[in-house]
Amino acid sequence: MDFRPLKVSGAFEFVPRVFPDERGLFVAPFQEEAIVRAAGHPLRVAQTNHSVSRAGSIRGVHFADTPPGQAKYVYCPSGSLLDVVVDLRVGSPTFGEWDSVRIDSTEFRAVYVAEGIGHAFVALEDNTVMTYLCSEPYNPAGEHGINPLDPALDLPWPAGLAPIVSEKDKAAPTLAEALDQGLLPTYADCVAYYEKLRSAHR
């Protein structure tokens, strides 16, 4: 499996080999060895999530208190979506920047999002399925969001799709407001936690 780092450090795109034949296809969208090569440690899977979305549905920008935060490995078993990672780590060299990857059920690209990085996506077609492998279980008290329509972030939502956003995500603070409210993780805390995970693997 090939991978490449995204513009936001700690986030990676993965590209597995797809084997089509007359029966259909076979692919291994998640391979631990590739995660270890990219992140320096395996992904502990504490919970898997599954969402089905209409075209134009935006989910995110979501993040969790770090440590422990919640790392995610996401791929699209059906349909297509634009996946977006946002650097929310105060003090990071790329704070406030984002990167995006189109993932779908043709190439089965996947994205790894380290703890403390914001994650969002938009479904590009109806009945788009997202599978998430999460390093920690859902913790309502530690979960937060940034408004995905924050004009200062200027996330790459397609102009041809009417955005469908939950009331919770619409009510989320902008990046500037979250910073003022002290909701965002620090880059130093996140980097220390990543090193702790790598040290445990050595």
Supply the residues annotated as catalytic. Answer: 62, 132
Any idea of the CA torsion for 177, 165, 153, 181, to the nearest 10 degrees? 10
Q: Which of 41, 40, 18, 42 is nearest to 28 (CA)?
A: 18
Neighbours of 171 (CB within 10 A): 10
Query: For residues 46 and 157, is the Cβ–Cβ distance under 8 A?
Result: no
Q: For the chain, how big is the Rg over CA atoms in Å?
A: 16
